[in-house]
Amino acid sequence: MGSRLIGYGSYLPERIVTNFDLEKMVDTSDEWIVQRTGMRERHFARDDETVVDMAAAAASRALENAGITINDIDMVIVATTSAELDFPSVGVQVLGRLGATNNAPAFDVRGACTGYIYALHCARAFFSAGIHKRIMVIGAEKMSRFIDWSDRSTAVLFGDGAGALIFEHSTSSYSGIIDTVVMSDGTEMGMLYGTPDHHIIMNGPETYKKAVTLMPAAASYIMEHAGITADNVDWIVPHQANLRIIQSGAQRLGFPLEKILVTVDKHANTSGASGVLALSYAFDNNIIKRGQLVLYPAFGSGLTWGAALIRV
Ligand code: ACO
């Protein structure tokens, strides 16, 4: 049993914060941010806007795009690390918000910036087992909750948003989520983590070095496993952490820059929402076309890393 993608949707908060706005909030400059990260602007949620609000908005757009209702979904998996409530899960709250009455199961995965790959990995496993018919994978983050305005090295990097993808079971193993790989190394957790009082602690240069080796490694592994090369892949949609990381990874893999989707300039790093949001953006802007083969590598706190291969 495989899957096929039947719908997508995304949500970005209304407020756009440019690098020039950040110049007024922290000791930084547009030039520094663009040069080191490729970021130009990001969206910040309102104080009263929650991860559930954003996830539910993306989910409802994905349902509309698929032409189905929430009761047609029989599992929801949400990638998030910034939920306001410890419990219940964002997934269950989204089902409640959208008025589901079919008692479908829902849960969250906490894979940080690799969260959406972990969620896709779970979805693939449930489809392979043949026990679910339509699974919604959501990535939703309010990273602005974690910003420590006294630490300029992390304050400029993150943004808020949500994306949702709906997959339906299929007898073809060449469509939808074709393959996934996820990994972790907890011995390196000190490199990047969130504190109990919601601040991000990050060793930027070490994180950078790990990201430029582990994301391409996961991408290579999955291409080898699927018996394909860079020539067979239409698009690579990397976790949108930093333009330099994205370009260096692409170079290592031998991908031309025209095949790399970049949204980090507009959305900054939205962590567990990044890849799902990026894919929705690419569909909305007619960049990625349905039927194309997309390679999806990611890396994040944990350390966690992984990749997915999706025929969209
Ligand atoms: N504005 C201006 N100057 C700054 C800023 C800022 N926002 N932040 C740091 N600097 C200064 C530093 O203080 C330092 O100054 P000094 O030389 O006088 O001490 C100088 O810039 C260089 O600092 P570095 O940290 O060495 O800068 P680097 O070139 O490594 O770039 C960056 C920093 C962009 C954070 C880079 O290390 C990076 O991208 N790392 C990966 C971060 C990442 O992607 N994290 C998330 C990935 S995983 C996930 O998505 C959860």
The CATH number of 2-170 is 3.40.47.10
Report CA torsion sign: 43, 166, 298, 260: negative
Q: If you average pLDDT over residues 183-195, what whole number do you get?
A: 95
If you measure from the C-alpha of residue 208 to the centroid of ligand 1, how many angstroms do you get, rounded to a whole number? 9
If you measure from the C-alpha of residue 186 to the centroid of ligand 1, how many angstroms do you get, rounded to a whole number? 23
Which residues, other chains included, contact 234 with Cβ-Cβ below 8 Å and sequence gap of 6+? Answer: 259, 288, 292, 293, 294
Q: What is the pLDDT of residue 173?
A: 76
Pocket flag, ligand 1, residue 112 (CB < 6 Å): yes
Q: Using CA positions, which residue lies closest to atom 43 of ligand 1?
A: 241
Q: What is the pLDDT of residue 111?
A: 94
Closest atom of ligand 1 relative to the 112 alpha carbon: 51
Q: What is the pLDDT of residue 217?
A: 96
Which residues, other chains included, contact 196 with Cβ-Cβ below 8 Å and sequence gap of 6+? Answer: none
Strands 192-194 and 200-202: antiparallel
Pocket flag, ligand 1, residue 152 (CB < 6 Å): yes
Q: Using CA positions, which residue lies closest to atom 26 of ligand 1?
A: 205
Is-cis flag, bond preceding 261, omega within 30? no
Confidence band for 205, pLDDT divided at 50, 70 and 90: very high
Q: pLDDT digit string (tens) for 37-57?
A: 999 999 999 999 999 999 999
Per the DSSP assignment, residues forming a β-bridge with 107 are 77
Q: If you average pLDDT over residues 162-184, what whole number do you get?
A: 94
Where in the chain are all domains bearing CATH 3.40.47.10? 2-170, 176-311
Comparing CA positions, the residue from 166, 111, 186, 183 lying closest to residue 141 is 111
Report the residue among 36, 188, 191 best suited for mutation to probe ligand 1: largest number of ligand atoms under 8 A from its CB.
36
Q: Which residue has the higher pLDDT, 91 or 1?
A: 91
Q: What is the pLDDT of residue 102?
A: 97
Confidence band for 118, pLDDT divided at 50, 70 and 90: very high
Pocket flag, ligand 1, residue 114 (CB < 6 Å): no
If you measure from the C-alpha of residue 4 to the centroid of ligand 1, how many angstroms do you get, rounded to a whole number? 39
Q: pLDDT digit string (tens) for 257-298?
A: 999 999 999 999 999 999 999 999 999 999 999 999 999 999
Contact predicate 121/296, CB 8 Å: no
Q: What is the pLDDT of residue 1?
A: 78
Pocket flag, ligand 1, residue 261 (CB < 6 Å): no
Pocket flag, ligand 1, residue 28 (CB < 6 Å): yes
Q: How far is CA 161 from CA 11, 121, 164, 203, 271, in A?
A: 6, 21, 11, 24, 9
Pocket flag, ligand 1, residue 194 (CB < 6 Å): no
Q: What is the pLDDT of residue 101?
A: 98
**% of the chain exceeding 90 in pLDDT:** 97
Q: pLDDT digit string (tens) for 71-97?
A: 999 999 999 999 999 999 999 999 999
Which residues, other chains included, contact 256 with Cβ-Cβ below 8 Å and sequence gap of 6+? Answer: 250
CB atoms within 10 A of CB 242: 23
If you measure from the C-alpha of residue 157 to the centroid of ligand 1, how many angstroms do you get, rounded to a whole number? 9
Q: pLDDT digit string (tens) for 95-104?
A: 999 999 999 9
Contact predicate 234/210, CB 8 Å: no
Q: Does domain 176-311 have CATH number 3.40.47.10?
A: yes
Helix (H, G, I), strand (E, B) or coil at 13: coil
Q: pLDDT digit string (tens) for 136-169?
A: 999 999 999 999 999 999 999 999 999 999 999 9
What's the chain's Rg over C-alpha atoms? 18
Catalytic residue IDs: 113, 239, 269
Q: How far is CA 158 from CA 35, 45, 175, 181, in A?
A: 16, 12, 32, 25
